[in-house]
């Protein structure tokens, strides 16, 4: 059993990759500046690193869960080249107004609800009070707070520099 340790929760679109609207293909994927370095730095600290991403494009019929998995596999392969990794990707394919019937529903996993974060904390020994999320939407921050972890609003730039600032701020008591 792994030891209890802090977790960095990362939204995907707009934090790890440039948000071009429903990014689902490798050829459309572009890392946000500092994303790989951010993940590596937190891996090196011994933190868990999780991606928690709403993927309503699946419910809307824009792409499939398999398409998303191919993209996540690509991200993992790219990260491995720098000695970095995501401990687990969590996604919510559901949306109340989805076109695909099996994905058309409300879900506790869809941010701003905390389901994906709660699942990660159930699946891994996470030190909740020492953990935080970086997201680019208010719903990300709401999900973090609902899960009992810190939340930081990323508005662009170098996400590694932002994460280092967030960590220092968090350790000083910000949430």
DSSP secondary structure of 16-72 = TB---SS--SGGG--BPTTHHHHHHHHHHHT-EEEEEEE-HHHHTTSS-HHHHHHHH
% of residues, the chain, pLDDT over 90: 95
Q: Mark whether 87 is an active-site residue.
A: no
Enumerate helices (H) and strands (E) in the chain, giving the number of each.
6, 5
pLDDT per residue as tens digits for the range 17-65: 999 999 999 999 999 999 999 999 999 999 999 999 999 999 999 999 9
Q: Mark whether 11 is an active-site residue.
A: yes
User: Catalytic pick from 13, 109, 136, 140?
Assistant: 13
The values of phi and psi at residue 57, to 5°, are: -60, -25
Confidence of residue 2 (pLDDT cuts 50, 70, 90): confident
Q: How many domains would you assign to the chain?
A: 1
CATH number, residue 108 = 3.40.50.1000
pLDDT per residue as tens digits for the range 72-93: 999 999 999 999 999 999 999 9
- When the pLDDT of each residue in the chain is averaged and rounded to a whole number, the result is 96
Does residue 18 sit within a domain?
yes
Q: What is the pTM of this model?
A: 0.96
Does residue 12 sit within a domain?
yes
């Amino acid at each position: 059993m792994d030891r209890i340790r802090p977790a960095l929760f990362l939204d995907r679109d707009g934090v790890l990759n440039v948000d071009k609207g429903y990014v689902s293909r490798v050829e459309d994927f572009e890392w946000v500046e500092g994303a790989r370095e951010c993940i590596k730095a937190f891996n090196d600290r011994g933190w868990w690193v999780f991606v928690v991403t709403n993927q309503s494009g699946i419910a809307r019929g824009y792409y499939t869960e398999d398409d998303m998995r191919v993209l996540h596999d690509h991200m993992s392969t790219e990260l491995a080249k720098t000695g970095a990794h995501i401990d687990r990707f969590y996604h919510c394919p559901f949306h109340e107004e989805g076109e695909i019937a099996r994905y058309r529903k409300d879900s506790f996993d869809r941010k701003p609800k905390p389901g994906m974060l709660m699942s990660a904390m159930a699946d891994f020994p996470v030190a909740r009070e020492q953990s935080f999320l970086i997201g680019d939407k208010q719903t990300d921050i709401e999900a973090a707070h609902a899960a009992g972890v810190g939340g930081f609003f990323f508005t662009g730039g170098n996400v590694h520099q932002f994460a280092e600032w967030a960590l220092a701020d968090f350790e000083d008591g910000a949430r």
